[in-house]
Amino acid sequence: MAKELNIQEATICPSTAQMLEKATKDGVETAFHRANDMKPCPIGMEGACCKNCSMGPCRMSTKSPYDKVGVCGATYDTIASRNFARMVAGGAAAHTDHGMAMLDIFKEVVKGNIPDYKIKDIDKLKYVAESIGIPVYIEKDDGTTQLRDVKDIALDLAEELEKTYTQVEGEIPFTKRVPPKTLEKWRELGIVPRGAMREIMELMHRTHMGVDQEYNNMTLHFMRTALSDGWGGSMVATEVSDILFGTPKAVRGEVDMGCLDEKQVNIIIHGHEPNLFESMIEGVNDPKNIEKAKSAGAEGINLVGMCCSGTEVLMRHGIPHVGNFMSTEAVIVTGAIDAMAVDVQCIKQALANLSSCYGTKFFTTNRRAKIEGATHIELDEHNPRECVDKIIDMAIDRFKNNRKAKIEIPQNRHMSIPGFSHEFINYMLGGRFRASYVPLNDNIINGRIRGVAGVVGCTNPRVKHDWVHLELVKELIKNNVLVVQTGCSAISLAKYGLMTPEAAAKYAGPGLAEVCETIGTPPVLNVGSCVDNSRILIACAEMVKTGGLGDKISDLPVAGAAPEWMSEKAISIGQYFVASGVYTVFGVNFPTIEGTKFHDLLFKGLDDLVGATWDFAKDPYEMAQKMIAHIDKKREALGIQEKKERKLFDMEDRRKLAV
């Protein structure tokens, strides 16, 4: 019999809790219930089970992992490092395949084969092209310069960026953005990534039975693979999406389930790639579709987002966002959703069944991701409106004919200010003509800002939903650490009001609050979806370039965390941050056993190689303390631990000058 779910222990999100109560009354279950009923396998959780061949599966003892070896003789360190490597491969493949899909669309748009999309941000196109050495201007015979044809720049860019995936030898294009000293270290270690296809293929080969059975060697290669995600596939996804759909700038955008409206046709887009959502925005604003909705008795069409698809358009257009990963089922329980359309990644299979319980139309739209029980309407990038209009029609039909389930919409909605792309942070700090990171670095040097933390990643029913994110971030900003966020974590914080400028006075320490009030920003910045962690890498590179904080990413007083992570993508992200030089702490659980050689390599040994390590803490306060201690250690090493203003050249200095 199913164990009773303690809702107060499951989530702190009032909307999700209200819907879990309703789910109980309605007799339906969610991932919270299933996690409550299913204990995680302790052996798998610690990376101690190998099923890479049919002589196994072989399970090591988690109490004494060196007591036995697998049938082939594989030790715990081999098994755990292979399992970890395969998680990196899975995560990196997801991000890079997403990036490649965006690049495919970009090429077709540039060639004029997709009239629905165009290059929206020419400045971004120029910036990205220049950053990897593609000429943007040509010199004319009379010595003056002229902007090249935009189409030519775009075609050159597409060709160059394709190497991110296919390059067999050499270094992928965005390594040109890596601070030189960090890149030098990678070259010494032999971990500068080639194309992601090559790295992932090699990683899958190495982890096959009987290949790489030396955990140090395995670790070097999964770091290389992770870097091909962070500085490769993910970065391409972000940059190309900005060029096509616009680079985010601060906008107002509401979050939480109160953004649903019983009187309108409610459509949710959930997943990751932004093109489905961008086309849906066009579709719901088409007067023909609005008219159809009105003739069905609705006041209009209410389009909202979830998960990272939602964050993409919250960032670019301020489209309301109704919840993160652990709220995707709860939102269906409202009964108010007429249609949910999904593309790829983080889509729970249970959504199909649950939707049918409430009469919600549930659509898959991507050829790579079908779900049993879902209606598949494939999105053809060349004619996206065909798919989108069909989904809108079916949503209107559900509104009109099948709203039989009792509707209950939690009345919680909160204002947030997302949109902090690297470009907007640059602009916000220095204005249009003096755009730069100098004010950020100066405020870190003078101690008003202690450091910067990236708090990112999923939500997970194995811990109290949203609570670990919220408490960690509150603790960090209270200690004057500026927080940047992506993915589901960003939505957690937006729901508790921390992504508004007013939150600075309420929650931030005095130094951070003063800086936020001066420039008018929240103390917690939403920089985008999970592929947009690449924006944080770019920000780190920019901080190094701006000066005063060392010459490598590993010198910066920064730290990363994924306190409620669940996906392989999170492991890949964590690994590319560590390999880039950012100390990173994970919560929930960590797939290694403390005291083993592989665990020690990840948690200590990597410091000698890349200047950063992994760490683990379940408790948000302990996690914050670890991150702050790391930031302080870096400040100490930089000689900026004592609070001091940047000294201007004063009269006394002048008098000391020998004339």
Residues that bind ligand MSK (CB under 6 A): 272, 307-308, 325, 346, 457-458, 487-488, 529-530, 567, 569-570
- Least separation in angstroms between CB 51 and ligand SF4: 6
Closest distance to ligand SF4 from the beta carbon of 58 (Å):
3
Residue 122 interface partner, choices ligand MSK, ligand SF4, none, CB cut-off 5-8 Å depending on type: none
Bridge partners of 306, per DSSP, are 270
Phi/psi-derived region of residue 598, left when phi > 0, alpha when psi is between -120 and 50, beta in every other case: alpha
In angstroms, the CA 117 to CA 103 distance is 13
Q: Which is nearer to ligand SF4, 53 or 405 (CB)?
A: 53
Question: Least CB distance from residue 507 to ligand MSK, whole Å?
Answer: 23
- Tell which residue, 187, 180, 190, has the closest CA to residue 216: 190
CB 569 to ligand MSK: min, Å: 5
Indicate the DSSP class of residue 416.
Answer: E
3-state secondary structure of 11: strand
Nearer to ligand MSK, 48 or 341 (CB): 341
CB–CB of 343/321 below 8 Å?
Answer: no
Among 72, 290, 377, 435, binds ligand SF4 (CB under 6 A): 72
Tell which residue, 644, 7, 631, 11, has the closest CA to residue 324.
11
Q: Kindly state whether residue 209 participates in binding ligand SF4, applying the rule CB under 6 A.
A: yes
Q: Which is nearer to ligand MSK, 132 or 491 (CB)?
A: 491
- 540 φψ region: left (φ > 0), alpha (ψ -120 to 50), beta (else): alpha
C-beta of 86: minimal distance to ligand SF4 in Å?
12
- Select 42 or 210, whichever has its Cβ closest to ligand SF4: 210
* Among candidate residues 537, 536, 549, 559, the one with its CA nearest the CA of residue 624: 559
| Closest CB to ligand SF4 among residues 76, 186 | 76
Residue closer to ligand SF4, measured from CB, 467 or 598: 598
Of the candidates 512, 516, 459, the one whose C-alpha atom is nearest the C-alpha of residue 490 is: 459
Partner in contact with 308, chosen from ligand MSK, ligand SF4, none, beta carbon below 5 to 8 Å by kind: ligand MSK
Residue 55 contact partner, candidates ligand SF4, ligand MSK, none, CB within 5 to 8 A by sort of partner: ligand SF4
The span of 1-9, 64-72, 122-130, 386-394 binding ligand SF4 (CB under 6 A) equals 64-72
Q: Which partner, ligand SF4, ligand MSK, none, binds residue 567 by CB below 5 to 8 Å per kind?
A: ligand MSK
Q: If binding is defined by CB under 6 A, does position 50 make contact with ligand SF4?
A: yes
Cβ 346 to ligand MSK, closest distance in Å? 3
State the minimum distance, in angstroms, from the CB of residue 594 to ligand SF4.
21
Residue 114 within binding range of ligand SF4, rule CB under 6 A: no
Helices (H), 402-480: 422-430, 438-445, 467-478
Q: Which does 569 bind (CB under 5 to 8 A by kind): ligand SF4, ligand MSK, none?
A: ligand MSK
Q: Which of ligand SF4, ligand MSK, none lies near 70, with the C-beta cut-off 5 to 8 A by kind?
A: ligand SF4
Helices (H), 207-318: 215-228, 234-245, 274-284, 287-295, 307-317
Q: CA 74 to CA 574: how far, in whole Å?
A: 26
Q: Which of 15, 18, 36, 52 binds ligand SF4 (CB under 6 A)?
A: 52
Per CB under 6 A, which of residues 420..439 are in contact with ligand SF4?
A: none
DSSP label at residue 601 = I
**Residue of 367, 346, 100, 425 whose CA lies nearest to 241:** 100
Residue 56 or 258 with smaller CB distance to ligand SF4: 56
What distances in angstroms separate CA 500 from CA 262, 494, 521, 526, one per listed residue?
A: 27, 8, 7, 10
Of the residues 8, 37, 38, 55, which one makes contact with ligand SF4 according to CB under 6 A: 55
Contacts of 505 (CB under 8 A, 6+ apart): 513, 517
Residues binding ligand SF4: number (CB under 6 A): 14
Question: Which residues are bridge partners to 342 per DSSP?
Answer: 270, 364
Partner whose binding site includes residue 445, from ligand MSK, ligand SF4, none (CB under 5 to 8 Å by kind): none
Q: Which residues contact 141 (CB under 8 A, 6 or more apart)?
A: none
- Taking CB under 6 A as the criterion, the residue among 56, 246, 373, 497 binding ligand SF4 is 56
- Of the pair 72, 407, the CB lying nearest ligand SF4 is at 72
Smallest gap from residue 54 Cβ to ligand SF4 (A): 7
Spatial neighbors of 443 by CB under 8 A, at least 6 apart, are 449, 511, 515
> What is residue 86's three-state secondary structure?
helix
Q: How many CB atoms lie within 10 A of CB 138?
A: 12
Cβ–Cβ under 8 Å, residues 329 and 352: no
51 near ligand SF4, judged by CB under 6 A: yes
Among 12, 74, 337, 344, binds ligand SF4 (CB under 6 A): 74
Please, what is the minimum distance in Å from the beta carbon of residue 208 to ligand SF4?
8
Q: The dihedral of CA 155, 232, 276, 119: what is its sign?
A: negative
Q: Which is nearer to ligand MSK, 543 or 571 (CB)?
A: 571
Contact predicate 103/162, CB 8 Å: yes
Nearest partner of 616 among 579, 581, 578, judged by Cα: 578
Binding site for ligand SF4 (CB under 6 A): 50-53, 55-58, 70-72, 74, 79, 209
